[in-house]
Every structure is written in structure tokens, then in C-alpha cells.
Amino acid sequence: MERAIREFLDGVGESFPGDDLGATPARVARAWAEDLLAGYRVDADSELTWTEVPRGSGVVAVRDVSFASVCVHHLLPFMGRAQVAYLPASRLAGLSKIGRVVEAHARRLQIQERLNAEILGTLVRILEPRGAIVLLDAEHTCMTLRGARKESSRLTTMAASGIYETDPSARGEVLRLLSRGDVPPR
């Protein structure tokens, strides 16, 4: 990776008189490997530990989970927030575990639609809920900084399973919960 970054800097003709670019390739390689693409070193399924659902539990919603990812098409970042909800059958995840799953999948080269599907897939595989829904809203710098250059534009995507895929009423109720934080009626 360091060699490729050095070639990239050479390719754009970059040299800063008086600045030492010698350490830049190593710094950039570490940033990509240890931060921007750290999700490749994480098994998202193992991040999602669970306990038995307490009697009388209803929908579980985790709102405003911030994430950052890198667009696989342009290698530019996109950042946003995830809204995640599931209706437990018998397994309940810890609050921080949902955030870890989002992070594990986001810190890879991605497109937002695939990120949705991967987060949902982990929830369904490990928690086996009666239904789950993942709503992502993000700003893509491949659209705001280049190409169309439409600042403030955002992409919103959704993936659902179980009751939230098949029952429009249940889906509407949980989407209201995620958008405003209302508590659904019992």
C-alpha cells in the first residue's frame, strides 16, 4: 500500500518544497488499514452477543448511530447515521453491540445499499428476530465534492426483514419510532 501511495503522489506530481513527504505513504497506509478500512479485521457476527429476552419485551430501537465508510467506486468517504430496530423473538443484543455491528460493516469499501443489507444480515443471523429494519442516511462526498457537486444532498436507504418486510402497518410504526422517537402503543 505504501508503494502505491508513493506512486500516487509521484503521479500527481506532488512535492512540497521544504516539507518531508517521505513519511506520508506510511502514514496514509496506516490510516487506511487501521481506521478507514478496519472492518476487514472484524467479524461482525462475533460482535453481536446476546442474552435471553426478558418477558414482555417489545421493539428495540437504536437511533442515530454515526458511521463513516468509503465508497468502493471512488474511494471517497461517506458519513451518516444508522437507525436500527428489531423485534426480538428470544435474543436481545446489548446496546453497544448494535453500534459495533454498524461500525464493523461500515469500515470497509462499501456502497450504502450493500451496507444496509450486511447490517441487516448480521442482525437476522445472530438475533433471529421476528423482524428487523435498518435505515441509513448519509452524505456521499463522491456526490458533494466531485461530479454533480450537490452540497447537502443525502442518500437514504432501508432494508427490512420479517414482520417489517411483510406487514406495512408494523413497518410504518417502527419507522415512526425511528424518525421521531415515539414509543409505539402496546
Count of domains for the chain: 2
pLDDT category at 56 given cuts 50, 70, 90 is confident
Residues 63, 153, single domain; the answer is yes
CATH number at residue 139: 3.30.1130.10
Residue 134 placed within a domain: yes
Res. 176: pLDDT tops 60: yes
Residue 32 per-residue DSSP state: I
Res. 185: pLDDT tops 80: no
Residues 21, 69, single domain; the answer is no
Residue 154 placed within a domain: yes
Give me the domain span that covers residue 13.
2-36
Q: Among the listed ranges 71-75, 81-85, 104-108, 145-149, which one has the minimum average pLDDT value?
A: 145-149
Sequence-distant (6+) residues with CB within 8 A of 70 are: 36, 37, 76, 77, 78, 108, 109, 110
Answer whether 45's CB lies under 8 Å from 125's CB: yes
Residues 70, 19, single domain; the answer is no
Residues 14, 31, single domain; the answer is yes
Residues 20, 77, single domain; the answer is no
pLDDT at residue 186, as a whole number: 42
Residues 57, 126, single domain; the answer is yes
Element (H, E) at 78: strand 77-87
Residue 72 placed within a domain: yes
pLDDT category at 23 given cuts 50, 70, 90 is confident
Answer whether 133's CB lies under 8 Å from 173's CB: no
Choice between 79 and 95, residue whose per-residue pLDDT is larger? 79
Q: Among the listed ranges 10-19, 27-36, 127-136, which one has the minimum average pLDDT value?
A: 10-19
Residues 15, 94, single domain; the answer is no
pLDDT at residue 95, as a whole number: 85
Residues 111, 141, single domain; the answer is yes
Residue 173 placed within a domain: yes
pLDDT at residue 131, as a whole number: 98
Q: For residue range 94-121, what is the model confidence (pLDDT) as tens digits?
A: 889 999 999 999 999 999 999 999 999 9
Residues 58, 134, single domain; the answer is yes
Residues 133, 69, single domain; the answer is yes
Q: Is the entire prediction scored with pTM above 0.85?
A: yes
Residue 32 placed within a domain: yes
Residue 126 placed within a domain: yes
Could you tell me what percent of the chain has a pLDDT over 70? 94
Residue 186 placed within a domain: no
Residue 116 placed within a domain: yes
Residues 73, 140, single domain; the answer is yes
Residues 143, 77, single domain; the answer is yes
Res. 30: pLDDT tops 70: yes
Question: What average pLDDT is seen over the chain?
Answer: 91
